[in-house]
Structure 1
């Protein structure tokens, strides 16, 4: 046996010696750098990643296994982009403790470690392939690390599905001895950056920490933590915490000693600060106690300040029954000239085991002083009860609030803390906001943000409750009987059962908001009656006469997504009354439609649709149908006399440059400028300064009209107007349009004109084109040519001068047909083909000519109607005697004051000569009439001399009278003159 033991001992010793020899040989001969390429190739083969080993690898095998690695980097999977790298790693561990499953490591040194973690949209990460897929459970192993020192390291994390980026850089860490269930000294500092939410901060942490996952025991002694930078939506944020904490959450055991939390920063322009002090807090199995816990909060924004102090008095008791002498607090604030002061207090009880806490009556008061308030001050009182069940995540509260004459009361229940679901009832007897709210003298800030408001925060809102307010008074508006149900389920916020009276208007309906990231607003509202005059200012703001030629920017409508209907039973605005109004609105951020848009406005039934698109440079579309419309009702007429114009009136059509619209309007009956039309059909197309109205058609005054109007306002305004009127009764049209009855009849009017200019006068003077007129069975009013001639016959002064007389509406000249055409150039309408047929008159083409100066509003026209024999009983024998006589009629003056002048002297002379020649009679009378009337002068003179016409001369060879005694011969012309003179003396008795 001894030999066996002896040889066994030799054998074991020899084996150990052999192992030591082999280790020595390996340590002396093994060079790990010889295997770098094999390792690189193996990683590429197994993981499809590129491993880079830079520098020499140094290994040690006895008495400790150690490695000193150079720079190492690893690429992304199947990609050359770097995944992780480290500049230097040094580690060593004891060899023999490994045999006992103990890991004893010297200080670990890591420098320049970098890692880029990515989570892809499909949920995978860029390191999934590196994770072990073995199912074998790892065995527990004890470890002991002398320390860890990390310098200048960084790690980043990117979530491609949310776009979130988080990064820790400049990471440094130094630790003391590390072992399971043993405290460790730790100090670290690093920089953290993120974009959701925005973070750019520097952090420091120091202390002695114990983390024991097995017993769930966590300890921090000498805690000194600080973070400062951009945090929680604020800038220059600085948060620090110091103290000692010992916590065992599973058994609800807590020890807190001299815990102090200090935070400050600037949020939305306001500087905030928070101080929390917990000198001593003990929660053990049989004892709960604490010293006063104080919390102070302050805010300063542009000189407006707010401060609050809260004290939780000493707590005593057991985990099942603890109580505090009370929670007390004070608030104080200054806002401009307003000061606010308040105090509150309440007892406090609780059960730590059941995690139930009660604030049975939190009562307090508020004192507000403000010279802008109606009474200069306001007082309020409040009380509430609060019951909290932390385990079941329930909170119940009842509250009462009295401010001035306003009383509010209600109750609230909250279920679940992670995603609170709130039920409530809120009741108020009356709210006099005139006493509670100071009206701002500053106009509301304008916003041009065209992005929809992001209401994503409402996704977390779970709400179900009722709001009832008996009356609300604000400014001069009275709201009464407000009742509404409010519900939010994370997808939609809905106000249903809305019933409220605003002044004399009863409003009922519902309102909803959904798709919170890009909100969709829905509504269905009924209003019984609405007096708009109560809510719209009647003051006239100074008008800016210069219109902008830039398109009206409606980009704010890009933020509007809405779908709803509004109905109003009766609406009053000024003298206008509307009823049965219905407006359906749809908007999707690209287009807005109002369809239908229906209402009974006064006596007009309107059915329409209106659309707006391309909001930054709007395009309007419309379709309007109106049964009848008296437009004159809505055109403001000034009672003051018009100021005398001192110059030409400029026109500004620049607004048309920004108009882009198309549509049509149909009106069954229309009255505009006192002119009535039926079956009106108007089509409009406007495109950046060019406006075309076509068709432009209607029935009017027993006839019809059709035409086109085109306005080009891109440079100097130019206008094209074409109109054709058929079978129109001119008299009623002129009476209604210009209150002038100078012409009556039924016929056709054609107009085709163009013009351009920057003023009314310029447009008139640039008129060019042509027009024509054709009337039948009418009359020219203001002058009675036949009557005027009859008066001349009774006058003695037949050979007097020409007279001008004003138009007399009681007089008229009837005609059976009247035609005329006008050539218009430079604002002057020229006519020389006026023709008229009347019972006693004829006006042939070419007998008249003249001009109508539209630019200067004047007339210069000469007409020469000729008297014709009338049918029996029409003109009378007195006028038949003037048959064949031309009567010059001169029309002069202005449009507003035309004058008609007849050449009475010429008419009188013709009349007198006709009467005298009738008395002469015979061949001599006929000859004189021919001489005066324009017949053959030679034959007329020969007749007066007693000579026969050549046809009546004695036949050749016949007997002749003896010749008179010869005298000194006279020329034939002198002889005729002498004989004519003698004969005229005999005729006219000179």
Structure 2
């Protein structure tokens, strides 16, 4: 017995000594770098990715297997582009757990980690294969674990008593792994990974999204975790800097959470989230953006849940409509979306937002107290929302309500969808109220507001009776499979029927078609004229009586008002076609009947064709164009229109009467009304028959001038008008005029007025300045018939004499003057031959007898000199002051 025990003890000692010698030999001969090529081969065969280890692998065995690597990179799948890389990594693996297919790792330290995450045009990420087959951590650690296991010496075999210990197993040759281990690595059997903690320093994550075009990166990334293992919660803390190229971003981020994930079940959760971001995020300049709460997602069931979530943002928004002092919050105590079960649950969801726009401030609120939707039933408390805008003298408020939620997950119904809104500006209030039942089919993806009913109420002191209402009914249907929206509205406006139908297709980039038909449409009921109230007189001080009102002064030029901007750039994104037909239409005082037009807007160009109307006993025909660059054009024709009533209603001053045919072909460009006026270019042609020019009577003006000459020495000086007087007019049988405009400056190219007594044509200058509202036109007046017309017999001595008449001044204060100096010597000779100068010479050449004898003159007019007189100069001197010379 003692001999047997002695032999056993000796055998154990021998085995122990042999093991020690074998381990010593292994440590002296094992080179972990010999496995680089084999590891790269295993990774490539499994993932079709290239693994590169540029630095040396350092391995230690006791007390744990320690591994340290440098310069490691992993490529994208089937690509030479780098997916991820690290400058250096260091970790240790426990030996015994490896025997039971568990990877237990001490604290992992990684520096210089970089990753390039890409989403392709189809929405797939470049790490999808790693997530679907096993986690990225396992993908990186499994080959290293395999190499660490390979580093273990083969266990010594012991035989029966007296047997000798087997020699230590030699190190495997380079580029080979034990067959069982190689099979294990190649088969993809998942390890149970247990990491004591991760410490990542100075990391970078680069993001490229080819779907949205976003390009961003996270720099200076530091990550610290607690014990990490699948399906067990662990702490994560991170911080870094977010830099974006599109959209532009430059923000600091910091966060903590308790994370849990299970790659096999594809479940992921983050509890106790606390993330803080500040800096620039696209258009948002965030003073602070905070996310708190709990989130969970299951990829298999497509279930997302959230609890106690708070999203708080403070900052400013840039862009075309900047927002200052922005404060917004989203509170979600409970939210669950389970697409596999068609379930939605919401509890006490609340959204708030407020801030300051350039000319107004806004306040938005939305509340969903309780909402539950499932395949069995849909129910919930009323959902409400409000939007308020204040500023610029306007107040806008809109309230939205959804009540009577019913149906189920497939077909949702609402007993009532309610919209109540209003806009108040000064004394004007516009209110909209609309209700309708609603339904939505989730599977067929279509729904409707089946019975819309409501009214528009306008209150304004300028309206007859102070207010009016527009009741309406209608419907709206949306079909997302057909990608179509259709709505029909029937309304009553001023006791007149109005029908409106609109259809939109391709809703992501909508193409809209509409038809508007009305019996009668008076825009003055919707947009009444603005009445400017006179300011109250100043109050007297200290009980004194108010001072007498001063005499009215001439109106001073009004202070310049900021012109409203015209921006037609929206036409670039509009695809619109429509038809309008209105029996009677009125805009301000202008009225028309049988108005019709066809609209087409596409590719930044708007064209209104088929523009027709019965207008003041005549016809309107033509088209109007506009484009996104604010270029406007008009090609219009007015045929046999009664110009007097038209001009009176259009400008409250009818200076021209008669039946007129007018052709207008003009174009202009600008973003304000003054700019559009200054850019007006084109031609206006007018042909008017049997009418009158009001404000001037050319024949009467000539008679007044003649009488002034006849009575210049009699002491009786008749008045000669020099300003337009609407009590006067020049009748004509025909008037032809062509005016050419060039950037707001008009030139009268043709002017022919034919009257029974007179012929009038244009002279020089002949300009029309619509920018400064000035007229400067010289007309040549010739008496052709003294037997008929306005006082023809009284002008027989002026027959066939051309008299220039100049009309000039502001449009609202025109004046005119006879241009005697422009008659010239030739005209005077013709007048002498016609007998006019004989008449004038008799008046000019006479000297009163009393003055010849030295007596005081009988007339206050000074006696003319006794030397020979120039008749032309005498006429001009005599009329100076009388005719504005």
Using the size of structure 1 for normalisation, the TM-score is: 0.50
Please give the alpha-carbon distance, in whole angstroms, between the structure 2 residues aligned to 1:250 and 1:734: 110
* Pairing 1:584–2:672 present: no
Please give the alpha-carbon distance, in whole angstroms, between the structure 1 residues aligned to 2:477 and 2:378: 20
Partner of 2:595: 482
* Pairing 1:409–2:499 present: yes
Partner of 2:580: 467
Any idea what SS the aligned residue of 1:732 has? helix
Render the CA deviation track for 1:170-201: whole Å, top value 9, x for unaligned: 22222322534221133222235367x67666
TM alignment of 1:634-673, pairs within 5 A: 670-671=780-781
Render the CA deviation track for 1:447-506: whole Å, top value 9, x for unaligned: 6679x8442323332222222222234443323222222232343222222222344453
Query: CA shift at 1:257, angstroms?
Result: 2.6
Match among 502, 527, 551 for residue 638 of structure 2: 527
Partner of 2:295: 209
Match among 247, 254, 258 for residue 176 of structure 1: 258
Q: In 2 relative to 1, CA 291–10 (structure 1 residues): closer, same or farther, beyond 3 Å?
A: farther
Partner of 2:742: 611
Q: In 2 relative to 1, CA 454–328 (structure 1 residues): closer, same or farther, beyond 3 Å?
A: closer
Query: CA shift at 1:383, angstroms?
Result: 1.9
Please give the alpha-carbon distance, in whole angstroms, between the structure 2 residues aligned to 1:332 and 1:146: 53
Partner of 1:24: 60
Check conservation: 2:253, 2:278, Cα contact below 8 A.
yes
Match among 230, 237, 242 for residue 326 of structure 2: 237
Any idea what SS the aligned residue of 1:23 has? strand
* Pairing 1:277–2:355 present: no
Partner of 1:574: 655
Render the CA deviation track for 1:492-534: whole Å, top value 9, x for unaligned: 22222222234445322222222x1x23323322222243531
Partner of 1:713: none
Please give the alpha-carbon distance, in whole angstroms, between the structure 2 residues aligned to 1:459 and 1:475: 31
Q: In 2 relative to 1, CA 417–863 (structure 1 residues): closer, same or farther, beyond 3 Å?
A: closer
Render the CA deviation track for 1:725-759: whole Å, top value 9, x for unaligned: 7876626169899896329xxxxxxxxxxxxxxxx
Please give the alpha-carbon distance, in whole angstroms, between the structure 1 residues aligned to 2:259 and 2:113: 26
Any idea what SS the aligned residue of 1:176 has? strand
Query: CA shift at 1:295, angstroms?
Result: 2.4
Render the CA deviation track for 1:648-704: whole Å, top value 9, x for unaligned: xxxxxxx99x99x9x9x9x9x9338x899xxxxxxxxxxxxxxxxxxxxxxx9999x
Query: CA shift at 1:724, angstroms?
Result: 12
Q: In 2 relative to 1, CA 14–520 (structure 1 residues): closer, same or farther, beyond 3 Å?
A: farther
Query: CA shift at 1:106, angstroms?
Result: 6.2
Any idea what SS the aligned residue of 1:183 has? strand
Check conservation: 2:250, 2:281, Cα contact below 8 A.
no
Please give the alpha-carbon distance, in whole angstroms, between the structure 1 residues aligned to 2:406 and 2:288: 40
Partner of 1:218: 304
Residues matched between the structures, number = 613
Check conservation: 1:481, 1:499, Cα contact below 8 A.
yes
Q: Which has the larger radius of gyration?
A: 1
Please give the alpha-carbon distance, in whole angstroms, between the structure 2 residues aligned to 1:857 and 1:113: 108
Any idea what SS the aligned residue of 2:60 has? helix
Please give the alpha-carbon distance, in whole angstroms, between the structure 2 residues aligned to 1:17 and 1:574: 115
Render the CA deviation track for 1:15-66: whole Å, top value 9, x for unaligned: 87666996239999x9999x99x99xxxxxx999xx999xxx8956566474
Check conservation: 1:701, 1:728, Cα contact below 8 A.
no
Any idea what SS the aligned residue of 2:59 has? helix
Partner of 2:812: none
* Pairing 1:741–2:840 present: yes
Check conservation: 2:375, 2:410, Cα contact below 8 A.
no
Render the CA deviation track for 1:374-394: whole Å, top value 9, x for unaligned: 113323422222222233332
Q: In 2 relative to 1, CA 455–739 (structure 1 residues): closer, same or farther, beyond 3 Å?
A: farther
Check conservation: 1:108, 1:147, Cα contact below 8 A.
no
Greater shift after overlay, 433-442 or 457-466? 433-442
* Pairing 1:730–2:839 present: no
Please give the alpha-carbon distance, in whole angstroms, between the structure 1 residues aligned to 2:827 and 2:875: 27
Partner of 2:447: 357
Please give the alpha-carbon distance, in whole angstroms, between the structure 1 residues aligned to 2:568 and 2:388: 29
TM alignment of 1:215-364, pairs within 5 A: 215-231=301-317, 233-243=322-332, 244-249=334-339, 252-267=342-357, 269-301=359-391, 305-331=395-421, 335-337=425-427, 343-364=433-454
Q: In 2 relative to 1, CA 248–507 (structure 1 residues): closer, same or farther, beyond 3 Å?
A: farther
Check conservation: 1:108, 1:149, Cα contact below 8 A.
no
Q: In 2 relative to 1, CA 466–858 (structure 1 residues): closer, same or farther, beyond 3 Å?
A: same
Partner of 2:244: 156
Please give the alpha-carbon distance, in whole angstroms, between the structure 1 residues aligned to 2:506 and 2:875: 93
Please give the alpha-carbon distance, in whole angstroms, between the structure 2 residues aligned to 1:298 and 1:892: 78
TM alignment of 1:28-43, pairs within 5 A: none
Please give the alpha-carbon distance, in whole angstroms, between the structure 1 residues aligned to 2:415 and 2:370: 16
Please give the alpha-carbon distance, in whole angstroms, between the structure 2 residues aligned to 1:632 and 1:200: 78
Q: In 2 relative to 1, CA 241–895 (structure 1 residues): closer, same or farther, beyond 3 Å?
A: closer
Q: In 2 relative to 1, CA 893–282 (structure 1 residues): closer, same or farther, beyond 3 Å?
A: closer
Query: CA shift at 1:224, angstroms?
Result: 1.0
Q: In 2 relative to 1, CA 188–632 (structure 1 residues): closer, same or farther, beyond 3 Å?
A: farther
Please give the alpha-carbon distance, in whole angstroms, between the structure 1 residues aligned to 2:759 and 2:300: 89
Check conservation: 1:328, 1:345, Cα contact below 8 A.
yes
Render the CA deviation track for 1:527-559: whole Å, top value 9, x for unaligned: 2224353146568xxxxxxxxxxxxxxxxxxxx
Please give the alpha-carbon distance, in whole angstroms, between the structure 2 residues aligned to 1:892 and 1:597: 42
Please give the alpha-carbon distance, in whole angstroms, between the structure 1 residues aligned to 2:828 and 2:392: 76
Check conservation: 1:107, 1:148, Cα contact below 8 A.
no
Render the CA deviation track for 1:277-331: whole Å, top value 9, x for unaligned: 2233333344433332222333444786454443322433333444333334545
Q: In 2 relative to 1, CA 740–146 (structure 1 residues): closer, same or farther, beyond 3 Å?
A: farther
Check conservation: 1:182, 1:210, Cα contact below 8 A.
yes
Unaligned runs of 5+ in 1: 40-45, 75-90, 128-140, 159-164, 540-572, 614-619, 636-654, 677-699, 706-720, 744-779, 789-800, 808-855, 865-890, 898-990
Query: CA shift at 1:206, angstroms?
Result: 1.7
Any idea what SS the aligned residue of 1:533 has? helix
Please give the alpha-carbon distance, in whole angstroms, between the structure 2 residues aligned to 1:857 and 1:9: 151
Please give the alpha-carbon distance, in whole angstroms, between the structure 1 residues aligned to 2:487 and 2:424: 30
Query: CA shift at 1:225, angstroms?
Result: 1.0
Any idea what SS the aligned residue of 1:534 has? helix
Please give the alpha-carbon distance, in whole angstroms, between the structure 2 residues aligned to 1:13 and 1:233: 72
Check conservation: 2:412, 2:440, Cα contact below 8 A.
yes
Partner of 2:276: 189
Render the CA deviation track for 1:242-291: whole Å, top value 9, x for unaligned: 22322244764323232222222334534332322223333334443333
Q: In 2 relative to 1, CA 445–183 (structure 1 residues): closer, same or farther, beyond 3 Å?
A: farther
Any idea what SS the aligned residue of 1:187 has? strand
Please give the alpha-carbon distance, in whole angstroms, between the structure 2 residues aligned to 1:239 and 1:360: 34
Partner of 2:489: 399
Render the CA deviation track for 1:829-866: whole Å, top value 9, x for unaligned: xxxxxxxxxxxxxxxxxxxxxxxxxxx998645579xx
TM alignment of 1:480-559, pairs within 5 A: 480-514=593-627, 516=628, 518-528=629-639, 529=641, 530-531=643-644, 533-535=647-649, 537=651
Larger RCO: 1 or 2 (CA < 8 Å, sep 6+) = 2
Any idea what SS the aligned residue of 1:375 has? helix
Please give the alpha-carbon distance, in whole angstroms, between the structure 2 residues aligned to 1:892 and 1:291: 99
Please give the alpha-carbon distance, in whole angstroms, between the structure 2 residues aligned to 1:109 and 1:578: 92
Please give the alpha-carbon distance, in whole angstroms, between the structure 2 residues aligned to 1:472 and 1:14: 106
Match among 425, 446, 465 for residue 375 of structure 1: 465
Partner of 1:42: none
Check conservation: 1:609, 1:624, Cα contact below 8 A.
yes
Query: CA shift at 1:104, angstroms?
Result: 5.9
Check conservation: 2:577, 2:599, Cα contact below 8 A.
yes
Check conservation: 2:760, 2:781, Cα contact below 8 A.
no
